[in-house]
Structure 1
Amino acid sequence: MTSPAIEAIDLVKTFGDNASERPAVDGVSFVVPPGTVLGLLGPNGAGKTTTVRMMTTLTVPTSGTARVAGYDVREQPDMVRRNMGLTGQVATVDELLTGRENIRMIGGLYGIGRRDLKRLGNQLLEQFSITDAADRPVRGYSGGMRRRLDLAVSLIASPPVLFLDEPTTGLDPRSRSELWEMLRGLVAEGTTLLLTTQYLEEADQLADDIVVVNHGRIIAQGTPLQLKQQAGNASLVVTVSHATDLPVARELIARTGAEVHLDVGARQLTAAADGIADLTRVAGWLQDRAIEVDDIGLSRPSLDDVFLSLTGHRVEGDEAEEVSA
């Protein structure tokens, strides 16, 4: 059986001297298989960054432990750091240096030889689409370019595990999509990712499994589809072309046994559905009765619906997360 690439084991972190104070992280445990992506999802203040800091040896756990690439963060912190990369919420590259010089500097700290570093640097600059700007100071880079360079720097030692703490915060939609494609490429090459995010679409797009945290505790975990199913069934949504067809269409959809909700103004009917089977049956019934439709389809719960059903509020939060050592 293959060992996990990342493993959190009952991690707890409490700040301050007050033992009765609620922990920032309270008994978090999960496993990430090699070559997969785990999305750690939750609002600001949920404990995501504190969890990552413990797993990357930046903060010592109050209790519990974690393993990265098989190495214990408490007992073998040096080996953990040698086998992982970290990209934080803010790009940490030196703005006064060029992109190429940043890569050389970090590669030198890792002890990579000059010839290998030149080859590796050119490869990373090409891989992350920075070649054209490689010899310009980073202070002139766009936000998306800085994040790509930050990611390239974190991969210079080819770590098998990469931690990404809200990597697309502040990026425009195009830059975010480009970074997603690059992350998919890394996973295809075998890298294991742990991604913290408060962007529901990001978790849905990238994660094989999602751990939902709130107030320092895990409140749900599973694949994106499994979590969406917890929020309820898919809905069948039908928009008829003519309002006069609404009564008949309602009767037909009701044959599925579901309650039908009617929006007369939008000429739209909505009902709980048992997946594609109900969609196919209703489409056939409508066609048999010559009822024209503008649109018909299934609407599944979103991860936002999941979070709302679990916590009673949306994922966006305004509570600042404490990350003190």
Structure 2
Amino acid sequence: MGCNTSTQSKVSDVGAATAAIAKPRTPSPPAAENGVTTEVPEKQESVPVSVAPVTLQVPEIRASRSASPASTKSEPSYSHIRLLLLEGLRRRLQVAGLHGRRPVKKPLVSLKNWKARVEWAKQHLSWGPREWANHIWSDESKFNLFGTDSIQWIRRPIGSRYAPQYQCPTVKHGGGSVMVWGCFCDTSMGPLKKIVKTMDRYVYKDILENTMRPWVRANLGRSWVFQQDNDPKHTSSHVANWFRRRRVDLLEWPRQSPDLNPIEHMWEELERRLKGVRASNANQKFAQLEAAWKSIPMTVVQTLLDSMSRRCQAVIDAKGYPTKY
């Protein structure tokens, strides 16, 4: 699981402490006649934390399939015992520094791809503004008309969960969304294109020909490098033939590497700028997106491009696995 020695030691201590709790004590003969009293130890040597004693009175019950619910009413709740033991385990895990947390969602990186990611990061680790000049970063993204797909957090008083001001409104079927394609480089924010049809290789090639290429010719001239991820529609033979005919230089890109692409953070910037702004339909939403996209200052672009060396170093440190970016 990737635990270090210190964490493994803590878990071992927790397991030993839990086993000590679960181990039954041998009842004395007088106690066995009237019932068994089991007490959970208040303190374990491995983890200095006190647990409130739990006393369970277990009467002698004869094994009988015909026992009625009334006759077994005084039986101990073994599910309750289990819950108490689990609660003790949770407390000891917390003392050991192992808290329950929501896992972050990242792309599954195969053995082959994490090696390719490390190799790519090493090759571009020393690149600076001059090397990244005239590189076009591109991608697609979806924006909801209503709400967001990301996790939302609020702070509210206890007992006010259903108060209107603390609710997160939703609409049936999500309220719709807008899919866009965009790009940018070190000197300019590129065009933002609304994707009306289902995005396939033909739609993508049309965007490259009629949206991206005119902007490039007006802003970058003939010397530029295009970046795209390894989505099947991007790497299809139909699109590859277009790149070959137009003599486009492509940046070699490792698979499953959104954390290396600065445009992913550009989408987050765009969503932040429209936080709280509502749209009644897809056209209005795209108009808002396009206006916000054009208003993003170049300082944001430079900050993202300056992070490329840190992104590469993070991939190397993580041995090719997904990073915080």
Tell me the TM-score range normalised by the shorter chain: under 0.3
Bigger Rg, structure 1 or 2? 2
* Structure (1 or 2) with the greater strand fraction: 1
* Structure (1 or 2) with the greater helix fraction: 2
TM-score where L is the length of structure 2: 0.24
TM-score where L is the length of structure 1: 0.24
